[in-house]
Amino acid sequence: MIKRLAGCIREYKRPTLLTLIFIIGEVIIEVFIPFIAADLVNQIKNGAGMDTVMLQGGLLILMAVCSLACGAIAGYTCAKASAGFAKNLRGDLFRKIQTYSFENIDKFSSASLVTRLTTDVGNAQMSYMMVIRTAIRAPLMFLFAIVMAYVMGGALATTFVVVVPVLICGLLLVAKHAMPAFRRVFKKYDRLNEAIEENVRGMRVVKGFSREDYEKEKFGAASEDIMKDFTRAERIVALNTPIMQFCLYFNMIFVLIVGSRLAITSGGASLDVGQISAMLTYGMQILMSLMMLSMIYVILTMSAESFKRICQVLDEQSALRNPESPIFDIADGSVDFEGVSFKYSQKAKKNALSDIDLHIKSGMTVGIIGGTGSSKSTLVQLIPRLYDTTEGVVKVGGVDVRKYDIESLRSAVSMVLQKNLLFSGTIAQNLRWGNADATDEELVEACKLAQAHDFVSSFPDGYETKIEQGGTNVSGGQKQRLCIARALLKKPKILILDDSTSAVDTRTDALIREGFKQYIPTTTKIIIAQRISSVQDADMIIVMENGAISAVGTHDELLASSDIYREVYEQQIKGSDGKEEA
Amino acid sequence: MAKNAKKGGRPPMDFGVLKRVLKLLFSYYPVLAPLTVFCILFSAVTSAIPSLFLQQVINAIEKYQLTKDWATASGEVIPKVVLLACFYVLSMISITVYTQLMAYMTQGFLCKMRRSMFDTMQSLPISYFDRNKHGDIMSYYTNDIDTLRQLVSQAFPSLIQATAILTTVFFIMLYNSIWMTLVLLCGVVAMVFVVKKVGGGSAKYFIRQQQAMGRAEGFAQEMMNGQKVIKSFCHEKEATADFDKINEALCEDSTRAHAYANCMGPIIGNIGNILYAVMATVGGLFLISGAYNLSLRGIFTGQAVFTLGIVVPFLNMTKQFTGNVNTLSQQMNSIVMGIAGARRIFDLMDQAPEDDEGYVTLVNAEVDAKGNITETDKRTGKWAWKHPHGDGSLTYTLLRGDVRLTEVDFAYVEGKTVLHDVSVYAEPGQKVAFVGATGAGKTTITNLINRFYDIADGKIRYDGINVNKIKKADLRRSLGIVLQETNLFTGTVMDNIRYGRLDATDEECIAAARLAGADDFITRLPGGYDTELANNGANLSQGQRQLIAIARAAVADPPVMILDEATSSIDTRTEAIVQRGMDKLMEGRTVFVIAHRLSTVRNSDVIMVLDHGRIIERGNHEKLIEERGTYYKLYTGAFELE
């Protein structure tokens, strides 16, 4: 996992290395400063001359300036390295997600992918910064301070033999108890936020059922529950400070008692006052460095969950891959299903599609009708190879779709998805998703065909009208028509509309189909619909039930042969008998 | 900082917000909060004073070092060390107490804040949720609460402690030497200047980083939601290029923000070191030159000579002083961000709740042979409006489901009227349908009936009672609503159905699911009715989600039902089954139906055709067909182009 993440440092190895180097410099100077400072105090006490004091003071200032420079540079390089690392990580995640097939996308919810791209990467950035700032600083400082303490204090430094293990044990004990508590808290915290999000999204339902008090109570209980766990965890961590204080004070008292005795009895020969104060300073440094190490430990374990979640995305392998020597040209818009069966995951017991044999000639208009869950969408998603079949072959233009270059295949097969979306940007920008180089005339032409031109030009800004995120400022029917126009701009050989006119009124719906017939006669059109009226003039209508083809034929044939079709038809035109002929 | 204030409109250091946070904290914990402050102050004093004793011990060592007489020296040194130890113990106790209290209070405070935000949120009108992006509302609970945690648990205690220590040390310094204090103050001014510069830069870029992060999050959200569209249009490269741009900008702002923040420590720390050197040199100069020492002590005792006993402790205090300035500067970001977060949270909490002056309530009713209505706790299948009057008397009106809109005008935004002079009379037991293009005002009418919005002009009466007089909760309880956009909650399928009526038994829920035609697919789910739904039922199809939503409304068994495109994603065969079930359930009760599909509304008693907020046709199917108007055109639209 660490190796995987470390691979994202890339061009930011340099600032990372620089950070380490400058921090080493800073630490060395920092350790010597108390030494020089103590000496300065001694000089003053011993009544040294002005020039000695000035010299020593000057040296101290010089060191401080160097340390400042090192610290500031390290601060900058470290910020650069960690922000860059986060950038690479984010970029890699995004790129990886772009390679996902539908099967992979189904696996992760979009909200969880967003969290990974933001919060989790943010955690990784903070941990990385923390690690390169302190991972070398703390041990180095610890080492230097210990050595200096022995050099300066001699026997007095034995105090650390007692204090350091006590502190380490204390800190570890705290971390060990706090970690599981924190992990529990974070899990609950996620769930709490999910509950809030559900409420924000479903406020009309909550209010519609007058469930405000019920939700308040539920939320109240959940947040009290978190508070208890959180308080426990925080209280354990809060013990760090007193433990640290205890060690520090113990060290001071010990140094003072033993040190003063040693200094006095030896008359300052084996230990003098300056050394005693230096010992106190080093004691502080040693304990601080240990504290820092324990902080790293805590932060790393807390971010471990984020690391895991990031790696999950990076390690996921796309289920679809381009063939070795792909075919780029698609001959025509014919589609053949030969003995196709499909299930969404290997674990699924039931096939979503079974034994599909279907032959659609280029330029045909095909309607697909079937109940909720009859796998109509699944069937058409196999054509642009959004999923691969489990058994059997899907052919486009007479060639197995797995042999095509995916991008070429998908440009030839244009699909308007059932859950379709517009993106923030202008209408023109959205339409150009279909073809980046489309001229304004082509946009208008496609919109006319999709019956979108009239309402688009009725907007004050016309094609430059801004679409808000999720396309909330156009109506459902308008959105669907824009999505159809977008798909038409690809000038596809096969056009698939997956229930894409459900919000469009029947008249406009008919106009759209009429336009298709007139202006894109060579394009194969596959239309999934609920309304019989949307498909009844098709060359071929497929009736699906439970993942299998129940009947195929024209409207009239099916009225005679298919019970399901007839039932649906009668249901939809019931009470208007006779009007049909009118 | 000043520049920031001008740009942002509101200053980053908004003390009003800080005061309000503190006020809340103290009102939640009237005993513990002052106690904590006391402990913090106490620990500040107990950790500042020992430096005095420390120096005396050092002085004693120096004195006796020459005589090498430990026996007499110990008499002077040991008691002082013991006193020192006593202070340390006191300091440790107070620190332990306050850190524990702080942990307890912070979480308690956040919990109360969260609950109060959530409670406020539940009381807000629907228009608030229409106006604000959901992501923004969410971030109050996540990011802003987090900054508040930083502010309360870390910034506040450090602020109090550092200020207390700084004040204490400052007076001790004045006591020892005013001259040297002045020299130190010059240095401190430099430090404050740097803190302002660097801290200001850091705050500025942290805010920018936050904004850049928001952009990245928004973009990611949109792309992740539309990932399947991206795939089917092979738009991966373009999406990646756009993301790279945003990512690069975020990286830049993040680098700047953290660079400033990271530099702060070393800069302030080393200015401290430089000050130390300067003070030592100055002190040495004073010592050597034997200058006159102006000090508070001197003023009281007449002692006016620089001695080692003054200079050396002064150096220690210099360290303590600069160390605490450093601590304060480290908290700058937390404070600025905490204020920004708290301000947003207060903005939410200050939103005016949905007003509800209703006093008529809905009760279960029993009707005896003479037609007298009595209130009961049992579900009888009959409801009554309980109407208290000014003179203290009560009247009961049987709920019949008679809904009348009279000459209603309405505008979501002032000046843009979306409903003009709409009158609808729904008699008990009738099925009333609204037909019309998107944006014609169909959903708006139902939004007014259940008072998600309040009307500008006209009257809405429910069983003869003005809906404004009915308590909103009771009004909505009497109206079952199924919306086009289904929202399911985390929990089992059973839980979701039971949401309609919390005391419904499993059998009642299953019966409702059968009625809604949902039983069939639910029993085929891997866990049946106990299947866990997550992420708004992402593992179900849109049609299946709608079936569950209908079952949820059916179990509520409401006297009046509103079906707003409730079956739009359900195939017509299943819809017919659902419709049969619903018709049975709603027999004798009023139903409002909104649908695109005319087959859904055909058997309605009244069909209202809406166009641009006006009712242009009304009547039943046969009548409207006969009229050969818009409805006829719509209805026959499919057949016209044969």
The predicted-structure confidence for B544-597, as pLDDT tens digits, reads as follows 888 899 999 989 888 889 988 887 777 777 788 788 888 877 877 899 998 877
The predicted-structure confidence for B505-553, as pLDDT tens digits, reads as follows 999 999 999 988 888 888 888 788 998 887 777 777 778 888 899 999 9
Q: Would residue A263 count as lying in a domain? A: yes
Q: Does residue A86 sit in the same domain as residue A8?
A: yes
Do A76 and B263 lie within an 8 Å CB cutoff? Answer: yes
Percent of chain B with pLDDT over 70: 96
How close is the nearest chain A Cα to the Cα of B370, in Å? Answer: 33
Give, to the nearest 10 degrees, the angle between helix B572-585 and helix A563-573: 50
**Does B114 score more than 50 pLDDT?**
yes
Give, to the nearest 10 degrees, the angle between helix A13-45 and helix A50-99: 160
pLDDT at position A81 is 95
Q: Would residue A580 count as lying in a domain? A: no
Helix (H) or strand (E) holding B340: helix B332-349
Range of the domain at A106: 2-315
What SS3 state is found at A424? coil
Q: Does residue A152 sit in the same domain as residue A224?
A: yes
What CATH architecture is B20-349? Answer: Up-down Bundle (1.20)
* Residue the block writes with tokens 């002045």: B182
pTM of the shown model: 0.80
Query: Is A90 part of the contact surface with chain B (CB cutoff 8 Å)?
Result: yes
pLDDT at position A69 is 93
Name the residue among B469, B226, B489 with its Cα closest to residue A423: B226
- Separation of alpha carbons A22 and B45, rounded Å: 37
Residues 6+ apart with CB under 8 A from B171: B296
Percent of chain B with pLDDT over 90: 18
For residue A165, the tally of other CB atoms under 10 A from its CB is: 10
Q: Does residue A533 sit in the same domain as residue A396?
A: yes
Task: Indicate the residue of B104, B227, B639 with minimum beta-carbon distance to A579.
Answer: B639
- A-chain CB neighbours of B355 within 8 Å are none
Q: Would residue A22 count as lying in a domain? A: yes
The number of CA neighbours under 13 Å toward the Cβ of A536 is 21
Q: Does residue A289 sit in the same domain as residue A345?
A: no
Task: Indicate the residue of B107, B439, B639 with minimum beta-carbon distance to A234.
Answer: B107
The predicted-structure confidence for B443-490, as pLDDT tens digits, reads as follows 888 888 888 888 878 889 998 899 888 998 888 888 888 887 788 888
| Domain end residue (candidates: A280, A315, A350) | A315
| Structural domain count of chain A | 2
- Residues within 8 A of B (CB atoms), A 495-514 only: 502-503, 505-507, 509-511, 514
pLDDT at position B236 is 87
Domain with CATH 3.40.50.300 in chain B: 403-640
CA distances for A175 relative to A237, A290, B37, B149, B150, angstroms: 7, 13, 27, 21, 20
Q: Would residue A326 count as lying in a domain? A: no
Q: Would residue A194 count as lying in a domain? A: yes
How close is the nearest chain B Cα to the Cα of A63, in Å? Answer: 9
Instruction: Of B45-54, B110-119, B194-203, B560-569, give the lowest mean pLDDT range.
Output: B45-54
- Separation of alpha carbons B2 and B13, rounded Å: 10
**Does B286 score more than 90 pLDDT?**
no
Q: Would residue A458 count as lying in a domain? A: yes
Q: Chain B interface, mutation test: which of A203, A491, A564, A565, most B Cβ atoms within 10 Å?
A: A203
Task: Indicate the residue of B220, B229, B636 with minimum beta-carbon distance to A114.
Answer: B220
Domain CATH number, residue A147: 1.20.1560.10
Domain with CATH 1.20.1560.10 in chain B: 20-349
- A-chain CB neighbours of B273 within 8 Å are 33, 37, 60-61, 63-64, 67
What SS3 state is found at B532? strand
Name the residue among A286, A397, A307, A390 with its Cα closest to residue A341: A390
Q: Does residue A204 sit in the same domain as residue A280?
A: yes
Task: Indicate the residue of A196, A224, A267 with minimum beta-carbon distance to B68.
Answer: A267
Q: What is the pLDDT along chain A (582 residues), one digit of tens a residue?
A: 778 888 888 899 999 999 999 999 998 888 788 778 777 777 777 777 778 888 888 888 999 999 999 999 999 999 999 999 999 999 999 999 998 888 888 778 777 788 889 888 988 999 999 889 888 888 988 888 888 888 877 778 888 888 889 888 988 888 888 888 888 887 888 788 888 888 888 888 888 888 888 899 989 998 999 899 989 988 998 888 889 888 888 888 888 888 888 888 887 777 777 777 778 778 888 888 888 887 887 788 778 888 988 999 999 888 788 888 899 999 899 999 999 999 877 776 678 888 999 999 999 999 999 877 788 888 999 999 988 899 999 999 999 999 999 888 988 999 888 777 888 889 999 999 888 888 999 999 999 999 999 889 888 888 999 887 666 677 777 888 999 999 999 899 999 998 888 777 777 888 899 999 888 999 999 999 888 888 888 999 999 988 899 999 999 999 999 988 988 888 777 544 333 332
- Separation of alpha carbons A197 and A203, rounded Å: 10
pLDDT at position B4 is 38
Closest residue in chain B to residue A115, using alpha carbons only: B217
Domain CATH number, residue A416: 3.40.50.300
Name the residue among B358, B355, B353, B389 with its Cα closest to residue B466: B358
Q: Does residue A280 sit in the same domain as residue A356?
A: no
Closest residue in chain B to residue A192, using alpha carbons only: B141
pLDDT at position A264 is 83
Closest residue in chain A to residue B154, using alpha carbons only: A238
What SS3 state is found at A580? coil
What SS3 state is found at A360? strand
Q: Does residue A380 sit in the same domain as residue A510?
A: yes
Query: Is A326 part of the contact surface with chain B (CB cutoff 8 Å)?
Result: no
Query: Superfamily assignment of B403-640 in CATH?
Result: P-loop containing nucleotide triphosphate hydrolases (3.40.50.300)
Q: Would residue A330 count as lying in a domain? A: no
Q: Would residue A215 count as lying in a domain? A: yes
Q: Does residue A303 sit in the same domain as residue A352?
A: no
Do B228 and A417 lie within an 8 Å CB cutoff? Answer: yes
